[in-house]
């Protein structure tokens, strides 16, 4: 376990960014890399709905293609083991990750950090994933952020409810991470045109 120097959250070994505040924990060239607090993440990575959002992303200089590290993903789940497994996978894939453990916390964290995509558990105490997504869809800056259900509920009724609430994808547990990766890539910008416009899918 490694304590974050910013929020003192204990992170599992191997994570690249603090799963609580997004501070970069890895070392490069023997020196600690410059990290980001949640407030700094909010400034550096605005919501895709912001008119300046895509300009804040940093595409590869030679190819104009975005890399996973350009994106911040919010993972919401009330089970710590699920948070750790999903966060580790995303971070190993290069994404920046912040987490929340219930619907109310998800809205607060999302409003603070302005993620580019949210992975939302459905069955949580208090405000569940469907209710949280409805509130996100009413939020002025979070409304355009893609939300994907990641849940153990496999019935068609839950899937319809998720899409009715405003979710753009549905992944069931146990998670097929290859399918999750494909879905995430399909929902995030891919690259810029020469005129600076962002291409949102291939």
Q: Which architecture characterizes domain 2-189 according to CATH?
A: 3-Layer(aba) Sandwich (3.40)
Per-residue pLDDT at 145 exceeds 90: yes
Strands 10-11 and 2-3: antiparallel
Question: pTM of this prediction?
Answer: 0.70
Is pLDDT at 109 greater than 80 in this prediction?
A: yes
pLDDT given at position 192 = 53
Q: For position 57, what pLDDT does the model report?
A: 52
Count of CA atoms in the C-beta half-sphere (13 A) of 63: 6
Indicate the domain borders of the chain.
2-189
Other Cβ atoms within 10 Å of 71 Cβ, number:
21
């Amino acid at each position: 376990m490694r304590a974050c120097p910013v929020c003192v959250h204990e992170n599992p070994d191997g994570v690249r960014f603090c799963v609580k505040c997004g501070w970069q924990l890895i070392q490069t060239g023997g020196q600690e890399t410059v990290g980001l607090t949640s407030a700094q993440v909010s400034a550096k990575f605005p919501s895709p709905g912001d008119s300046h959002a895509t300009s804040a992303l940093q595409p590869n200089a030679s190819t104009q293609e975005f890399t996973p590290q350009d994106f911040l993903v919010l993972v919401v789940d009330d089970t710590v083991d699920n948070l750790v497994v999903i966060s580790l996978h995303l971070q190993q894939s290069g994404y920046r990750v912040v987490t929340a453990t219930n619907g109310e916390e998800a809205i607060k964290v999302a409003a603070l950090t302005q993620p580019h995509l949210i992975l939302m558990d459905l069955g949580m105490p208090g405000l569940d994933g469907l209710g949280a997504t409805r509130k996100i869809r009413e939020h002025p800056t979070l409304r355009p952020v893609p939300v994907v259900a990641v849940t153990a509920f496999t019935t068609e009724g839950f899937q319809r409810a998720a899409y009715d609430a405003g979710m753009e994808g549905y992944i069931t547990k146990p998670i097929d991470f290859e399918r999750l990766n494909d879905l995430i890539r399909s929902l995030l910008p891919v690259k810029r045109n020469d005129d600076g416009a962002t291409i949102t899918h291939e």
